[in-house]
Amino acid sequence: MSENTTPKLSHNEVIKAAIPTLAGNIAATIADPAADRFSEDDQQFIKFHGIYQQDDRDLRKTAKKFQMMIRGRIPGGVMTAAQWVTFDDLATRYGNNTLRVTTRQSIQFHGVHMSGLGPLVKKINESLLSTLAACGDVNRNVTAPPTPAYTRVREQVYADSVRLADALAPRTKAYHSIWIEGVQLKLDDPANQDFTDPLYGRTYLPRKFKASFVIPPVNDMDIFTNDLGFIAVVEGDRLLGYNLAVGGGMGRSHGNVQTFPRLADVIGFFAPEHVIEVAKAVLTIHRDFGDRANRKHARLKYVVEERGTAWLRDEVNRRAGSRSRRPPASNSTPRATCSAGTGPWMASCSSASWSRRAASRIAGHARKPRCGRSRRNSPRRIPPVSEPERHSRQRAGVRPGRDHQPPGLPWREGRPAGFHFARRLHGLPLAAHLRARSRRIRAHAPGPDRPHRKTRR
């Protein structure tokens, strides 16, 4: 095959180009009382509307009984009490009486049949939430940290996540027409045939796109596993800006060497007012350079891996516009200082290098320290403690070198130092195991009514 040969597009790309409004025949199928499933092409279109077609696993041996899963789009995972009551009522009325909270701060309905699909999605929109872009080849639900709660920085970060979710939402009118008005779009209408989304274009993205925000030192959003990550840089109660992480993703296909998990690279810093421009620059890079022939190789992480972070930084700068700004000199959050770049930010390296090394050990991908930084002079180096203090921490369940607490504070009130990452053990969060272990240790620790038990040596 010559280098000029264009690879064959995947079937998803063909049907997106044929019906750029993403309408398909969804409304007509819902209106048909005899229909219990969507066609194969419409199964791909309904994903953009936040819906997956599934079947009841318990009945597979006799006959397939089709049902739907509906996922809400809830930026930052924040909803009002009235919205929660609406979701709970809809799960009882149209679903299998369950609500399932996802790892990306959303809520899913399961066991919804075709007759209840339209009313359920309409009621979700009437509660001022949506299912648009909760699935499909677009930006998915934007996640934001729930902690530290009731702080000014957290409010600003959440507000940025809501602005980003609105800015990256597709603009097709098919969603409102189908689920609010119950009207099937005329696919042969020239206006619908020529529709082009102002951000995504006619064929949207090659694959899904995930964006997230996080506030150090807690990495509760697993920021380096996202296509687009915003790491808040905080000084006191002020949000100075974000370090930008691009190109993460943990998915892979077994036996396919072209697919692999990858941690995002931190490529720069920018001011908070440029969140939308920078996010659109990264998203359009995925749109223009992603693999549209092989969906298993279509995520943004493969573009970053193959073209490099230097190319990525230059391309984001070019698309976001030149807004060069040097980060502030002082900050309570460690900042990268190893190399400079042009455009809206400075290139990041030093503080991010240690963060990514910590994540690499968790993900099983060992990486060398960047910029010559050794573990000995790492920002997370733990100061020495006295022997009695060490024994006291061991009895309290504090692990040496990991759960360091400021001296003079009770163990329950101490906060871990450095940038911590979500870890799992035997399918459960590691924090749960540590809490259980601490309770067992404290239950047998010496006290007024439990003298210290001597052990044989």
Stretch among 136-145, 202-211, 315-324, 361-370 having the lowest mean pLDDT: 361-370
Average pLDDT of span 113-130: 97
Pure H helices in 168-298? 174-176, 190-193, 275-289
Total Cβ atoms within 10 A of residue 171: 11
8-137+172-197 sits in which CATH class?
alpha beta
Which residues lie closer than 8 Å to 371 by C-beta, 6 or more apart?
Answer: 338, 349, 350, 353
Residue 98 and residue 313: Cα distance in Å, rounded?
44
| Structure confidence at residue 412 (pLDDT) | 35
pLDDT at 410 > cutoff 90: no
Q: What distances in angstroms separate CA 359 from CA 209, 352, 416, one per listed residue?
A: 21, 10, 16
pLDDT at 176 > cutoff 70: yes
| Structure confidence at residue 60 (pLDDT) | 85
- pTM, two decimals, is 0.73
| Structure confidence at residue 395 (pLDDT) | 58
| Structure confidence at residue 62 (pLDDT) | 85
**Pick the residue with more confidence: 164 or 455?**
164
pLDDT at 58 > cutoff 90: no
Range(s) of the chain covered by CATH 3.30.70.3340: 8-137+172-197
Reported as a pLDDT band with limits 50, 70 and 90, residue 147 is: confident
The alpha carbon dihedral of 203, 205, 208, 210 has a sign of negative
| Structure confidence at residue 321 (pLDDT) | 85
Helix axes 152-167, 275-289, angle to 10 degrees: 40
Average pLDDT of span 54-59: 88
Reported as a pLDDT band with limits 50, 70 and 90, residue 445 is: low
Average pLDDT of span 68-88: 97
Percentage of the chain lying above the pLDDT 90 cut: 65
Residue 247 and residue 211: Cα distance in Å, rounded?
10
Stretch among 37-41, 134-138, 410-414 having the lowest mean pLDDT: 410-414
Average pLDDT of span 242-271: 94
- Residue 152's H or E segment, with its range, is helix 152-167
Residue 358 and residue 366: Cα distance in Å, rounded?
9
Stretch among 13-22, 55-64, 188-197, 241-250 having the lowest mean pLDDT: 55-64
Tokens 């006191």 label which residue? 236
Reported as a pLDDT band with limits 50, 70 and 90, residue 288 is: very high
pLDDT at 339 > cutoff 60: no
**Pick the residue with more confidence: 443 or 227?**
227
| Structure confidence at residue 448 (pLDDT) | 54
**Pick the residue with more confidence: 451 or 334?**
451
pLDDT at 41 > cutoff 50: yes
Average pLDDT of span 340-363: 40
pLDDT at 271 > cutoff 60: yes
Residue 353 and residue 349: Cα distance in Å, rounded?
6
The alpha carbon dihedral of 308, 309, 314, 319 has a sign of positive
pLDDT at 425 > cutoff 80: no
Specify the CATH number for 205-381; select among 3.10.270.10, 2.10.109.10, 3.30.360.10, 3.30.413.10: 3.30.413.10
| Structure confidence at residue 31 (pLDDT) | 94
Tokens 């899904």 label which residue? 208
Average pLDDT of span 47-70: 92
Stretch among 104-113, 160-169, 230-239, 355-364 having the lowest mean pLDDT: 355-364
Parallel/antiparallel/unpaired status of strands 420-421 and 218-219: parallel
CB hemisphere CA count around 383 (13 angstroms): 7
Residue 446 in contact with residue 452, Cβ under 8 Å?
yes
Average pLDDT of span 220-246: 95
Closest CA to 75 of 28, 7, 144, 9: 144
Average pLDDT of span 232-240: 93
